[in-house]
Structure 1
Amino acid sequence: MTATGRPAPADRPRTPRPPAPARPPQGGLLLVDKPAGRTSHDVVGRVRWLLGTRRVGHAGTLDPMATGLLLVAVDRATRLLGHLALTDKQYLATVRLGRATDTDDADGTVLPPDDPAAVAAALRVVTDAQLTAGTAALTGALLQVPSSVSAIKVAGRRAYDRVRAGETVELAARPVTVHRFQIVAPPRRLTLPAAGVSATGGTEPVEVIDLDVVVDCTTGTYVRALARDLGRALGVGGHLTALRRTRVGPFTLDGAASVFDPAVPGPDDPDVADGSLGRALVASMLTPEQVARTTFPVRVLTAHEAAGLRHGRPVTPTGRAGTVAALLPTTPDGSSPTRGSGTAQAGEQLIALLADSDGAARSVLGWAAG
């Protein structure tokens, strides 16, 4: 017992781990809809706890304020993460013009403008055409300066750790491609309290414009940096107030699972206690074969080719650039598996991931045992 009367950590009852569901030996890929306020690592920890395995990893970190699609690999399927072609992503976001923050998003501290009256005047006269032109100017191949409060490492330390320690961090611009930065709803003109904005600390209202946008971009693009740069270009400041990832490579939110029940946010949820949530996650897993078919071009193997690849021998070249999935049909009709079984189905088996080299297709990831 502590001095405050609360149980000491050693005295607190431990939440019993739910019964671990049976998992396919090859593992699988979960499409998870991350809620706001949770880190990507929180999601990984939750999946580990629900499924009773430490072998869980994710691709593509989401900030705590962001929601949406997070790819989570379980057990042996974690080996696939480094090979997945996930360079293109899509987001729905809300940009607030008229206020800047030190993190370029809603989690940061509002930065007072040098001239609040000039910002207010600029917002009152900006037109929809100017807003559209501003977003169009931030599309294509760009050199983008990432937000200083980011996970990028500077001399071995995360940029956000250096900023929190009081350091001034200036990150170098890096090449990104924004395929689409488009306003998808009429701009909303709002009036907000001025706390933290007015240079005089007054209480006069502050005008802002909220823009709902869709962004299609490459990996490494900071959507909050787009909000910041749009605000700067218009001379009014800007930051991101909402962000939802809707697509990663070929994967979408369609059928994505929730691992946190917002109505019962804890282990007392009966679906957690009896293991049914864990079983539902396993049932929703994409098998390695499904992941391969969704992500890569496919090379259908003969039994002889599959046997050779299992023993490290190359096969004839695929004639394709990049990675190709090598699949072996295991039924006469070679039918493809359907999503949702949680197990490798009769129909085909992933043998390896291939890449052409020196006149042959060679394994870059051996999957099936010899």
Structure 2
Amino acid sequence: MHAGVLLVDKPGGMTSHDVVSRARRALGTRKIGHAGTLDPMATGLLILGVEGATRLLTYLVGLDKTYLATIRLGVATTTDDAEGEIVDVAEPAAVSGASDELITQGIAALTGEISQVPSSVSAIKVNGRRAYDLARAGEQVELRARAVTVSRFEVLETRRHADAVELDVVVDCSSGTYIRALARDLGNTLGIGGHLTALRRTRIGRFDVSESVTADAIAAEAMLAPAEAAARAVGRIDVTAEEARDLRHGKRLDGAAARLSGAVAAAIDPEGRLVGIVEARGSALKSAMNVSETQGEPA
């Protein structure tokens, strides 16, 4: 089984682990991981690392993301999404008072670098246990606010009902941003509550859901080669056969750090194989992650 990266369009109702399990059966290997989960309710892009390429996931989990979502204002739930129990319903007069202008102002306050308290049913660990496990066990969960960046929070369509306002939105954000929390906080800002009713992840870094396969179409032929996936994730530098040999043997490339445009890059040999992920050490380049010479996959 060759190493590679697989882009899957997760359907609703299936957990991210369900997709991994299906990939393990389809590809005949246990060594598969993912670069960030999606809630069962959510659909869209899930990135899987297969065999040695699981080590590349380290460089994928922190990439920025794009989501399409539907927010329902006027109703608050225990989970900040449609799967939770309703805890508050705003009066129709309060809902109608949430004008487009007020909604725009509320969204503006949630755009840029913001401090966000994750949803209590997030996968964040509290004293070694997942927050969502604690919340479902009836325990009070207090999560700390974290700094996140929302670079775009744009309304695509607004639908007004007697008891609620529905917003279709697109969000570009840093890794670790919770769209459910944006829905909750927008509703709280307007004083009418809010929750998420639909969520679709369409992009992770330079990987787009339009390139993905369905969970039923998982196959080895659909995988991206480690070199392509790594280059898309962190950028690339091309190295000579001699430089590739030196890097694989743990040697540094003196004076080569200036070739980096970011903190790290994928070193690609003349055969198009991934040599490794390299980083600067002073003015030199060294491997931050070594790969095998035979297949250009992480060893």
Q: TM-score range by the shorter chain?
A: over 0.9
Q: What pairs with 1:95-174 in structure 2 (closer than 5 Å)? A: 95-113=71-89, 116=90, 119-174=91-146
Q: What's the TM-score once normalised by structure 1's chain length?
A: 0.76
Task: Select the residue among 289, 311, 324 that pairs with 2:265.
Answer: 324
Between the aligned partners of 2:88 and 2:114, the Cα distance in structure 1 is: 28
Between the aligned partners of 1:160 and 1:311, the Cα distance in structure 2 is: 45
**Aligned-pair CA distance for 1:106:** 0.5
Between the aligned partners of 1:112 and 1:128, the Cα distance in structure 2 is: 22
Q: Which residue of 2 aligns with 1:250?
A: 206
Q: What pairs with 1:18-167 in structure 2 (closer than 5 Å)? A: 23-24=1-2, 27-84=3-60, 86-113=62-89, 116=90, 119-167=91-139
Q: Which runs of 4+ in 1 moved over 6 A?
A: none
Q: Which residue of 2 aligns with 1:365?
A: 289
**Aligned-pair CA distance for 1:85:** 6.6
Between the aligned partners of 1:84 and 1:368, the Cα distance in structure 2 is: 20
**Counterpart residue identity of residue 231, structure 1:** G
**Counterpart residue identity of residue 12, structure 2:** A
> Which is further off, 281-290 or 88-97?
281-290
Between the aligned partners of 1:139 and 1:28, the Cα distance in structure 2 is: 35
Query: Is the strand fraction higher in 1 or 2?
Result: 2
Between the aligned partners of 2:281 and 2:117, the Cα distance in structure 1 is: 36
**Aligned-pair CA distance for 1:154:** 1.0
Between the aligned partners of 2:211 and 2:281, the Cα distance in structure 1 is: 38
1:136 match: secondary structure: helix
Q: What pairs with 1:179-194 in structure 2 (closer than 5 Å)? A: 179-185=151-157, 187-191=158-162
Between the aligned partners of 2:139 and 2:98, the Cα distance in structure 1 is: 36
2:45 match: secondary structure: strand
Which is greater in Rg?
1
**Counterpart residue identity of residue 63, structure 2:** T
Q: May I ask how many residue pairs the two structures share in their alignment?
A: 291
1:68 match: secondary structure: strand
Report if the CA contact (8 A) 1:86-1:250 is conserved: no
Determine if the alignment matches structure 1 residue 176 to structure 2 residue 148.
yes
Unaligned segments of structure 1, at least 5 residues: 1-22, 192-206, 261-276, 331-347
**Counterpart residue identity of residue 122, structure 1:** A
Aligned-pair Cα RMSD in Å: 1.5
Report if the CA contact (8 A) 1:43-1:259 is conserved: yes
**Aligned-pair CA distance for 1:86:** 3.9
Q: What pairs with 1:188-207 in structure 2 (closer than 5 Å)? A: 188-191=159-162, 207=163
Report if the CA contact (8 A) 1:85-1:249 is conserved: no
**Aligned-pair CA distance for 1:61:** 0.7
Report if the CA contact (8 A) 1:150-1:160 is conserved: yes
Report if the CA contact (8 A) 1:136-1:182 is conserved: no
Between the aligned partners of 1:87 and 1:240, the Cα distance in structure 2 is: 23
